[in-house]
Chains A and B, each alone.
Chain A
Amino acid sequence: MKILIVEDEKELADSIGAYLSDENYLCEFAYTYNDALEKIELYQYDCILLDIMLPGGNGIKILEEMKSMKKDEGVIIISAKNSLEDKVMGLQIGADDYLSKPFHLSELAARVYSVIRRKNFDNLNIIEQNELKIDLPAKTVLVNNQEVVLTKKEFDLLLYFISNKNKVISKSALAQHISGDIADMFDNYDFIYAHIKNLKKKLSDAGYGNYLKTLYGTGYKWNI
């Protein structure tokens, strides 16, 4: 999978690249408006991360250009502006998702994962991992061909872990993923443990190996 990171802050682009790059993702970078446009014209990507304020032009313009080029890569806008108008406009012009800075890298990874899956509909909407099988459109989970019934939150968490496999995820990132902006209004993330405990129990009861590890007391890692 090829991902283009369009972001003029080199440090941030580097972090995103370092986090996402693994055996599945190959990241390329564009630091300016023209640079980005050129790369998009020349190559095919699976997902484009697009900053709005770029040297040389506006990210929204790039979206419009892509539309006229009939390119339909998945686009996630990453913007510091956090304004609703930008968000609405971006999504209307054809972006698939919008993430305002600052964001958790694990959250970004989850969004990238989901955008890529939505775009490549046919071959990727069923995730298989050892004895685990997830049917995304149907939202069902099978372990050894036995269905495991998960709540919406547990299903959501499972996908989050899988899209961040082999990465350490902090509890604050998890809390933010589950309850959005309201998460950091509170200092107590205890309710997350309950959801994760239930998820773990349901999966292991069905015979799925213990892939979800607790690290350092409060972090999590989906080891595969």
Chain B
Amino acid sequence: MEHMKHLMNLTIKKIIVYAGIVLVCSIPAYYLVISLIWQFEMNEHNIVLTDEAARHDRYVIITAVTALTSLFFIFLLGGSILLNRSVSRRLWQPFYESLAKIRNFDLTSRQQVIFDQTNIFEFAELNVSLEKLISGNISAYNQQKEFTDNASHELQTPLAIVQSKLELLLQNSSLTDAQYNSIEDALHALARVSRINKNLLILAKIENSQFIEKERIDFSALLHETVTLFKNYSDNKKIELQLNIIHGKMVEGNKILIEILINNLITNAIRHSSDHKKIIIKLTNDHLVIKNEGISPLQAEQLFNRFATATSENPGTGLGLALVKQISARYNWKPGYHFDHGFHVFSIEF
């Protein structure tokens, strides 16, 4: 960004450099002409100067010409800067207005940008093209969101049918162990599909600006509750939980969303921990930090994207952290990840 230039400075700089060169070149020309006239007048009146006096006059002429030229250059410089400013500002104003509108454009709000009228042909054309581009984007975004929403809804029923048929199959009295286990495995995979589906639905709903109801939530208490809820699972892995949670941290938000956020972060920590490892959960007034032991850093740039699951041996829905990101964005919180001394550190900055 350092070598970026402002549009307005760009034109004026060239002009000034050019003017500078012309004026500098004009100094010897002035000198030459004045000297010639001077010489001519001397000869006319038969005046003969000593060498020293002639040299002195030459110096006077050079100094005077240079001083005058510099003075005019400064006038020119100041004048053109001021003039250029006011002309450019008027000239480029529609451009800067369009730029400001685009900068404030947020695809998720799905508000079409309306540009001001301009009587400059190029800018009018630019605005029309931008409007077309933006409305195209909005409709593609809408379609994609509707698709996710509808597809997830439509999937629920066939999923329910498959699950019910599999469970009926379990009731068959002539099943072998192998057959039973195949059905169990199928049910297990099906549960994962259902969960992915549910998460996609929630994501679509958040993007659709649902879950708007807000209330004051005791974040500390909710965190404690969640940890208790997951105790079965962490105990099962003999995980050492280290809690450092301040009391009475309140946040403003939707209860369901905040629960999902906490659930997903803690589930991840437990799921991706090996037996007998340590998980540290820390809540301060402006940070939530959840650390779990790990071997190598994860790819931080991709971590919070959909279906960016880092490992295949312990597959989740691939949507947990995407939800964390979306929910954080809703409340202007900052989710983060880094790897520190053998710990995966996930954090939310309130």
Contact = CB atoms under 8 A, between A and B. Distances in A.
Interface string A182-221: 1011111011000000000000000000000001111100
B256 interface: yes
A15 B161 CA distance: 8
Contact of B233 (A9, A82, A186, A218): A186
Nearest to B205: A83
Contacts, number: 111
B336 to A, nearest CB: 22
B157 A184 contact: no
Most chain A CB neighbours (cut-off 10 Å) among B153, B162, B191: B191
A12 B161 CA distance: 5
B159 interface: yes
B233 A105 contact: no
Q: How large is the interface on B (under 10, 10 to 19, 20 to 34, 35 or more residues)?
A: 35 or more
Contact of A185 (B160, B170, B190, B267): B267
B165 A15 contact: yes
B316 interface: yes
A185 B194 CA distance: 11
Contacts of B180: 215-219
B237 interface: yes
A105 B168 contact: yes
B63 interface: no
Given A105-B167, A179-B232, A191-B236, A170 B161 contact: no
B284 interface: no
Contact of A11 (B165, B177, B194): B165
B201 A102 contact: no
Contacts of B232: 179, 191
Nearest to B165: A15
A172 interface: yes
A172 to B, nearest CB: 5
A167 interface: yes
A191 B170 contact: no
A80 B168 contact: no
B171 A186 contact: no
A198 to B, nearest CB: 13
Interface in A111-142: none
A88 B235 CA distance: 34
B263 A12 contact: no
B167 A186 contact: no
B167 A170 contact: yes
Interface in B120-145: none
B11 interface: no
A216 B168 contact: no
Given A80-B153, A80-B160, A104-B167, A172 B188 contact: yes
A81 B316 CA distance: 23
Contacts of B183: 170
Given A186-B233, A215-B180, A19 B168 contact: yes
Contacts of A81: 153
Given A19-B168, A82-B201, A182-B229, A171 B184 contact: yes
A219 B192 CA distance: 19
Contacts of B276: none
B170 A12 contact: no
Contact of A9 (B157, B175, B198): B157
Nearest to B153: A80
15 contacts: A9-B157, A11-B165, A19-B167, A19-B171, A82-B201, A83-B205, A101-B156, A102-B163, A170-B187, A172-B187, A172-B188, A191-B233, A215-B180, A216-B175, A217-B180
Given A11-B164, A185-B271, 9 more contacts: A15-B165, A105-B168, A106-B167, A172-B191, A182-B230, A182-B263, A185-B267, A186-B270, A217-B177
Interface of A: 9, 11-12, 15-16, 18-19, 80-84, 100-106, 167-168, 170-173, 176, 179, 182, 184-188, 190-191, 215-219
